[in-house]
Structure 1
């Protein structure tokens, strides 16, 4: 049995990854997060706390593990990227630097770095293959740049120290696990943000920008399965993968799906267009051919079912008066 460390395991994607690992008898799971994990995670996993930017904490968390899935980072919605550019750049780079250094020192068999679709925020090829990274201009957003820097850290550790790695880029994660920020729209990701507005009966429903921007929503359970599959597969060694569904939808279409999932008549949907942000990716549609070919992996959760599940989860935890 192998032991895997999941950094940021108490987060939305992290929790899904831990749940996926606990369902596989091949893995013992250790979680390191500065937040207190939920009871089910504390019961099923070895839990370490502390700030992973501290090298001693990173080494203690990594010691005795064969694999590391590095998720710990400051994330959030589009408003968060613009509100905390220095903080998230500083923190994300420090986290990755310390965790990668510990992985080298502890002779980890495989480091899986969880990057982001935001490394492709200036993509010009669609659907976007992993190889486009070589031609794609660097991200303008601090968040996208911090995730790209993490990929550079990871590959550099391989080039200089022989650390075996896999890089996974989730696209537009949604699903149970993330609550909306009621005080500031855009701090959370778009799906929980729109669910909260629709459940509150907001009419017209507010979205950022024209609504013509496209996204490829991917359920957190699919993302978790893709991450674990890539980490375990021999074909995933020293490779990068887009971990995503394949259906490209406009933000306006996504708003319509959420509106109806919240119990409203689709014909009554009206949209109000809020000013967007300096960096608002206009098209996000990845190629998933590489993951299908090398890993035999593809997303499976039906979008309408996944959104309905997410609506139920948000409504149960953040009821609207």
Structure 2
């Protein structure tokens, strides 16, 4: 299968493209390097990977790339840590709206004029930002109040693009909602505003690389956002890549939406203590609570039954094992200046 992946230089895309190539797919990637600047990937020289530097808002370019593709993964987006939600509230909405509209314009063209069969929308757990139902099942985004952040609202709009394109043009789709992806490759974005957390600058304000780098740099007591009782489901990028690939490959995924996540809940404080123990060993753990951000959702707890029952997908990599990979990578990035 030949697949166009937009936002191919991104964090999740790095895991996804590697997995797709390993399973025999041919990949076309497009990215404008606006997030991290130019990056290299382990598969850059793979004969089944064709990368084009370009803007996903360029409909004509997307049509060229989509012309002989079977599916599209709509992954391109302006995205960053929680500080980005507050600094770029309008840009997140406007830029991501332009990207998804261009992607769907090209995909509809590919369906009508070429061989395109489906679009796969990388959505977000933030569509459930305003829910009070936990664990949160698919479909709750249609029942709970809309997201309060412009980022969450636009991600919900992406899902409506899929709905509308199916209703009007019969473009098949799969909506994919990753929950708190963790792994290597997540650095400070070029557009991130520098924000201090104690004596250390936040690393994208994504909690795992942020905590790892602060502990590695010797921050004690450790600064965390809020009281640390926020609940997350930290899902390894390799597991998410497998789940997304199954969504692409399986006919059972057509016109469905799936929460892709580990089923294990972890508080931010539990995460911080685990990282501390891995880096500092038996040294006593101390922390300070900083003022949290407005859109720091207290609970993100997905119901993962649908993905397991329909697709046979389960995220199996533990948080501890993931951290054993992430911590050395962050340490290296600190050394080379990536974080």
Which residue of the other structure, out of 235, 247, 256, is the alignment partner of 1:239? 256
Q: Deviations over 1:38-93 (max 9, x none)?
A: 25333121111211112112212222110111110011111111111111111111
Matches within 5 A, 1:49-198: 49-107=53-111, 108-180=116-188, 183-184=194-195, 185=202, 187-198=204-215
SS in structure 1 at match of 2:272: helix
Residues 179, 188 of structure 1: 8 Å contact kept: no
Structure 1 equivalent of residue 29 of structure 2? 31
CA separation in 2, counterparts of 1:268 and 1:180? 29
Structure 2 equivalent of residue 41 of structure 1? 43
Classify 1:39/1:250 alpha carbon distance in 2 versus 1 (closer, same or farther; 3 Å): closer
Which residue of the other structure, out of 230, 253, 262, is the alignment partner of 1:213? 230
The number of residues matched between the two structures is 318
SS in structure 2 at match of 1:81: helix
Which residue of the other structure, out of 247, 268, 278, is the alignment partner of 1:251? 268
Which residue of the other structure, out of 318, 325, 329, is the alignment partner of 1:302? 318
CA separation in 2, counterparts of 1:212 and 1:300? 24
Structure 1 equivalent of residue 199 of structure 2? none
SS in structure 1 at match of 2:19: helix
SS in structure 2 at match of 1:106: helix
Residues 203, 213 of structure 2: 8 Å contact kept: no
How far 1:262 moved relative to its partner?
2.0
State TM-score, norm by structure 1.
Answer: 0.95
Structure 1 equivalent of residue 12 of structure 2? 13
Q: Deviations over 1:239-297 (max 9, x none)?
A: 000000011111111111111222343x6111111111111101111010000000000
Residues 107, 119 of structure 2: 8 Å contact kept: yes
- Indicate the larger mover: 290-299 or 77-86: 77-86
Question: C-alpha root-mean-square deviation of aligned residues, in Å?
Answer: 1.6
- Indicate the larger mover: 235-244 or 277-286: 277-286
